[in-house]
Chain A
Amino acid sequence: MIEKTRFIPDGKKELKKLPIINYTDSKYLYYPVTSSRCADGETCVRGGQFVKVGEVIGTRKGAFFEQPMHATVSGEVVGTEKHMDQSGKSVDCLIVKNDFKYELHKTIKDRTDEEINALTKEDFVSIVREKSLVGLGGSAFPTYIKLSTKDKIDVVVANGVECEPNLISDYALMLTNPKAIIEGLIYAMKASGAKKGIIAIKKKYKEIDERLSFELREYSDYDIEVVKIGNFYPQGWEILTIKNALGIKIPQGELLSKYGVLNFNVSTLASIFAAVKHNLPVLERYISLSGDGITNQNFRARIGTLMTELVESVGGYKDIEIPKVLILGGPMMGVNVSQDDIVMTHTTTSLIVQNQVDLHEEPCIHCASCVYSCPVGIQPVQIMNAYKTRDKDMIKHLGINKCIECGLCSFVCPSKIHLTETMRKAKRFASK
């Protein structure tokens, strides 16, 4: 109890055993015109128009970049409707009625190996940009920006740690399609000029290690290595992954590329592969429903699918008389949403439905567990006290900006104090 906590019950064991159901044939698919990173957006198709798989149907506009939107089915555009996006906000969504033919758009053509070999860094960047690839680990940060770095890159890290409990998307991908990840990694290495590639996975995933190592034998020309790192949380946080996989300590707030490192989530790399090789945008993702309030199930579902359909397909919620907490993402850092009327986007990999538990906050007993457990080495309890007195300078002095909102401090507190939320408030307060 009074200790550094690094392990959280990971809830993946049961999920991993479940089969993965294909849910790729929805009748209607929805495409949010804006996202949390892109406040603006416009569509370039009209109602009644027919679109094909991979066709550009609009553009989302962020502060300094634009992202094309792609259709993931072929069919007719039938209008717009409001649904929730990943961040829990209600947004306009373009609706495409699936014609179940899945005709590919004419731009969707495979590149030959020769063509790929001839690609320059700029070509890679522009492909990734056109296909609107983003960090699929959850950051949704545009991949092309990362890839177009001017710094000299020595090593590309494929991050397959997925340290949040209840997520199995990366795991399933590594098991079912390791080739795509490896090829994607090679493309990323080519694009960035890195000589070395690392695939970082959790130590306990022996099956993944075997699978990847087996595949890697075919790629002996490349210097790619599987590195097994610890099982603890938040091991997938890039700074920790890199420290443990490469031994490079990168101070918080610095760009990884300055230290010659690029870090991609394994799913992102697989999407780079699909974009470069097949000229495809991201069409599907693995997604799981978990938690004690719903029948647990894994899916392979098309981007644009409405979450409500997935929930219905498993028979709806269990014990509906008990109030529920709906979470998009993992239980440590996921986003709370008020309903399941959510459109699946690139970064939607999990919906957790938890029955309500009453938590009673007790006074802090100075046990210091939160201090011991904080992965960035700040002192949550002190920040909480400074926030109570609204001492802005002290909050800053205590390093609030280092907080990655990993949730560990709330997780460990024996008095059930919601420290992480206080950290968020203090952060907002200090930056005002």
Chain B
Amino acid sequence: MQTIKQTSPYVRKDVSTKRMMIDVLIALTPVVMFSIYRFGMDSLIRILVSLVVMVGLEAIAFGMMHKPVKSDDFKERFKSRYKDFTINNITAPAVSAIIFAMLLPSKLPIYAVVAGAGFGIIVAKMLFGGMGSNIFNIAAAGRIFIGLALADMFTGTYDGVDLIAGGTALTAIRTGAGFPYTLNSYPLIDMFLGNIPGSMGEISALAILIGMIYLLIRKSADFRVIVSSLATFTLLIFVAGLKLYPEQVVEYTLFHLLSGGILFGAVFMITDPVTSPTSRPGRWIYGILVGSIVVLIRLFGAYPEGVAFALIFSNMFVPLIDYPQWATNKYKPAFFIGTSVAILALVAIVFFGVGGIA
């Protein structure tokens, strides 16, 4: 009998990266279903295009990045390049692809979908070294790329409101009739169910919440980032509401929570482990960072939609949060003091800042 050398521990938990990716795919199904229900073929085609581009390009890039064995036989060389290619090299880009597609307006030209998906997978992922090595959220990077490169497509000058990205209701609040009246065209219940214009995956809060519950039950997403980003967002918007619309502050807060990509982002994008810090305090800080930047962009910024920007921006801080010299998994007093001070400062900025706008 042959014995094998191994080192302890000799048992492993029944979990896998593959399972985690598949969980995210499962959690995305309600959102995907809803977008297909709302936008029909438009949605389906864009999802498929995004999938083909991301999964395909990752496979090609993967092959190019791995040295083949020396051999005259082309087949053998080809095979050796893909020796380490696993199911994760399919599921991971698939997750990115679907999330990316969900960020898009349903009528976005196909070549823009291709460009964004390609940029995301090649520049934001493979150039950084592939799975696990990317610094920026892939879907967010792809979305911002086309947002900047093909800016015209998102400004609504084309045809009709459906073209406008994420923040249609948000745009209305800034350029249209102003807050309390937007509720007439976008009642909160419709916003919750998804009966509004907007990006394909961001409109139905209900579908997103179902996905969130699944992810949390399976523990395939860290609740810390979801809670801290949403809590920060809610708190700051509430403060702004207090100043701007003291009578309707609850509606105002809900309106913001349900519009744009904050919910979708909090559940499916901020939770992306690869681009998150790796300690408990770090995850809380990260969520606060994303949540507050989204608020700042919404209240003071030029873009009606800021989740992707906030995310990419926060991604840059991850190495700083994780910097081994101070990162720790313990909740130290400094953490509590630091976050409290930061939140108070943010509250103050928002409270005094929005005065000017109102």
Residues of A that sit less than 8 Å from B by CB: 1-3, 5, 8-9, 165, 317, 320, 323-327, 331-339, 352, 354, 356, 359-360, 362-369, 371-372, 374, 377-379, 381-382, 385-386, 394, 397-398, 405, 407-408, 410-416, 418, 420-421, 424
Contact = CB atoms under 8 A, between A and B. Distances in A.
B17 interface: yes
B333 interface: no
A379 B86 CA distance: 27
Contact of B278 (A381, A398, A412, A416): A381
Interface string B301-325: 0000000000000000000001011
B70 interface: no
A336 B5 contact: yes
Contact of A366 (B5, B15, B276): B276
B12 A377 contact: no
Contacts of B322: 382
A407 B9 contact: yes
B8 A362 contact: no
B131 interface: yes
Nearest to B282: A368
Contact of A332 (B9, B86, B222, B273): B9
Contacts of B273: 2, 365-368
A372 B324 CA distance: 16
A112 B331 CA distance: 56
Chain B interface size band reads 35 or more
Given A366-B278, A379-B328, A411-B13, A1 B219 contact: yes
Interface in B117-136: 130-133
B157 interface: no
B184 interface: no
B75 interface: no
B2 interface: yes
20 contacts: A1-B220, A8-B13, A325-B10, A327-B8, A336-B7, A336-B10, A362-B16, A362-B88, A363-B132, A367-B273, A368-B278, A371-B329, A382-B322, A397-B324, A408-B9, A411-B12, A412-B15, A414-B20, A415-B17, A424-B7
Contact of B133 (A5, A335, A363, A413): A363
Given A2-B273, A323-B2, A365 B9 contact: no
Contacts of B278: 366-368, 371, 379, 381-382
A317 B3 CA distance: 11
Nearest to A408: B9
Nearest to B318: A366
A376 B19 CA distance: 28
Contact of A8 (B7, B11, B280): B11
Given A333-B8, A363-B131, A420-B7, A382 B324 contact: yes
Q: Most chain-B CB neighbours within 10 Å: which of A2, A332, A335, A360?
A: A2
Contacts of A424: 7
Nearest to A369: B15
A356 B328 CA distance: 36
B19 A1 contact: yes
A416 B16 contact: yes
B11 A365 contact: no
Given A2-B220, A323-B4, 4 more contacts: A324-B2, A327-B8, A367-B273, A386-B324
A381 B327 CA distance: 12
A316 B186 CA distance: 74
A331 B275 CA distance: 33
Nearest to A327: B10
A405 B8 contact: yes
Contacts of B11: 8-9, 165, 331-332, 411
B10 A414 contact: no
